[in-house]
Amino acid sequence: MYMASPVIVVLIVDERGTADAAMQAYQSELNDSQAKDKETKGASGEQKTVLETGIGEGAFSDNMTNGSVQDMTAVHGSRLFKVGIMGAGSLPEDRIRTLIQTAVSH
């Protein structure tokens, strides 16, 4: 975790032991995110989940439309990765994408 007031950056790497276990965890998180999209639809803190291409075996971003939270989750091999940005304003999507691509490739 990195904090630079008013922004917090979190990187999580979750080793699941097997690629199948990591993919199941990824799919569960994707399903949860899509369910939250439906729950928050029309709210001031609405969340949008978007499938991302070219990152690991699968990736998605789920961002609050008010810019308060942005994150991206990816699966690669037996690991699940998440980069989250919380705080004032929003970062360009390509910067978050670069962060997670770097994490996945190492």
- The boundaries of the domain holding residue 13 are 2-39+47-105
**pLDDT, the chain, mean:** 91
Tally the domains of the chain. Answer: 1
Q: What is the mean pLDDT of residues 8-19?
A: 94
Closest CA to 77 of 51, 103, 49: 103
Q: What is the CA radius of gyration of the chain?
A: 14
Edge-to-edge strand list for the sheet holding 69-76: 2-4, 7-15, 79-87, 69-76, 58-64, 47-52
The CATH number assigned to the domain holding 87 equals: 3.30.310
Structure confidence by residue, pLDDT tens digits, 39-78: 989 887 789 999 999 999 999 999 888 878 889 999 999 9
pLDDT at 49: 96
Q: Residues, the chain, total?
A: 106
Amino acid identity at 6: P
> Residues of the chain with pLDDT > 90: what percent?
61
Helix (H) or strand (E) holding 58: strand 58-64
Supply the pTM of this predicted model.
Answer: 0.88
